[in-house]
Structure 1
Amino acid sequence: MNREYLENKNTIHFQFEQNKEDFIVDEIPLAFKGNGNFAILHVKKVELTTWDMIAAFAEFLNISAEKIGYAGLKDKHATTTQYISVEAKYEKQLKRFKHPQIKILNSTRHTHSIRMGDLAGNHFSINLFGVSPIEAGQIEKRAAKIAKNGLPNYFGYQRFGRDEDSIEQAREMIAGELHINDAKLKKFLISIYQSYYFNEWLHERVVLSRNKNEGKFLLLEGDIYLTQDGKLFTPKNIVQKDFEAHKVVPTGLLCGRDVYRARAKAGEIEAKYDDAFLYDKGLRREAVIFPTDIKLDYKNNFDILNISFMLPKGSYATVFLEAIANNNFRAKRLTSKTTK
Structure 2
Amino acid sequence: MRKREYLDSVGDIDFKFYQTQDDFIVDEIPSIEFKGKGNSLVVHVKKTEMTTWDMIAAFSEYLAIPAQKIGYAGLKDKHATTTQYISVDVSYEKMIKQFYHKQIEVLDITRHSTGIRMGDLAGNRFSINLFEVDNIDAGRIEKCARKISKNGLPNYFGFQRFGRDSDSFKQARDMLSGEIFVEDAKIKNFLISIYQSEFFNQWLRERVEISQNENNGKFKLLEGDVYVDVKGKLSTPKIIPIKEFEAKKLTPTGLLCGRDVFRARDEALEIEAKYDDEFLQEKGYRREALIYPKDIECKYVKKQTMLNISFTLPKGSYATVFLESIADKNYSAKDVKKK
> Which range, TM-score by smaller chain?
over 0.9
- 1:6 is aligned to 7
Indicate if the aligned counterparts of 1:220 and 1:265 stay in contact, CA closer than 8 A. Answer: yes
Amino acid of the structure 2 residue aligned with 1:19: T
Q: What is the CA-CA distance between 1:120 and the residue it aligns to?
A: 0.4
- 2:200 is aligned to 198
**Aligned-partner SS, 1:334:** coil
- 1:33 is aligned to 35
Within 2, Cα distance between the matches of 1:334 and 1:240?
Answer: 38
- 1:256 is aligned to 258
- 2:292 is aligned to 290
Matches within 5 A, 1:74-223: 74-223=76-225
Q: What is the CA-CA distance between 1:8 and the residue it aligns to?
A: 6.2
Indicate if the aligned counterparts of 1:11 and 1:327 stay in contact, CA closer than 8 A. Answer: no
**TM-score normalised according to structure 2 size:** 0.97
Within 2, Cα distance between the matches of 1:100 and 1:132?
Answer: 36
Within 2, Cα distance between the matches of 1:118 and 1:93?
Answer: 25
Q: Deviations over 1:100-138 (max 9, x none)?
A: 000110011112111111110000000000001121111
Amino acid of the structure 1 residue aligned with 2:273: A
Q: Deviations over 1:206-232 (max 9, x none)?
A: 000111111111111111111111111
Amino acid of the structure 1 residue aligned with 2:237: P
**Aligned-partner SS, 2:334:** helix
- 2:332 is aligned to 330
Q: Deviations over 1:241-294 (max 9, x none)?
A: 111111111000000000000001111100000000000000000000000000
Q: What is the CA-CA distance between 1:165 and the residue it aligns to?
A: 2.1
**Aligned-partner SS, 1:333:** coil
Indicate if the aligned counterparts of 2:42 and 2:88 stay in contact, CA closer than 8 A. Answer: yes
Amino acid of the structure 2 residue aligned with 1:332: K
Within 2, Cα distance between the matches of 1:94 and 1:7?
Answer: 46
Within 1, Cα distance between the matches of 2:331 and 2:36?
Answer: 41
Q: What is the CA-CA distance between 1:162 and the residue it aligns to?
A: 2.8
Query: 1:234 and 2:244 equivalent?
Result: no
- 2:226 is aligned to 224
Amino acid of the structure 2 residue aligned with 1:12: I
Indicate if the aligned counterparts of 1:162 and 1:332 stay in contact, CA closer than 8 A. Answer: no
Within 1, Cα distance between the matches of 2:23 and 2:9?
Answer: 27
Contiguous gaps of at least 5 residues in structure 2: none
Amino acid of the structure 1 residue aligned with 2:189: K
Q: Deviations over 1:130-173 (max 9, x none)?
A: 00112111101110110000000000011112342221111110
RMSD: 1.0
Contiguous gaps of at least 5 residues in structure 1: none
Within 1, Cα distance between the matches of 2:324 and 2:13?
Answer: 10
Q: What is the CA-CA distance between 1:332 and the residue it aligns to?
A: 1.4
**Aligned-partner SS, 1:332:** coil
Amino acid of the structure 2 residue aligned with 1:285: R
Q: What is the CA-CA distance between 1:9 and the residue it aligns to?
A: 5.4
**Aligned-partner SS, 2:195:** helix
4+ aligned runs moved over 4 Å, structure 1: none
Within 2, Cα distance between the matches of 1:50 and 1:143?
Answer: 29
Q: Deviations over 1:33-71 (max 9, x none)?
A: 222211111000011100000000000000000110111
Within 2, Cα distance between the matches of 1:230 and 1:117?
Answer: 13
Aligned length: 337
Within 2, Cα distance between the matches of 1:309 and 1:266?
Answer: 31
Q: What's the % identity of the aligned pairs?
A: 65
Name whichever of 51-60 and 241-250 sits farther off: 241-250
Q: Deviations over 1:171-202 (max 9, x none)?
A: 11011111011111111110010000000000
Within 1, Cα distance between the matches of 2:247 and 2:227?
Answer: 14
Within 2, Cα distance between the matches of 1:132 and 1:155?
Answer: 30
Amino acid of the structure 1 residue aligned with 2:22: E
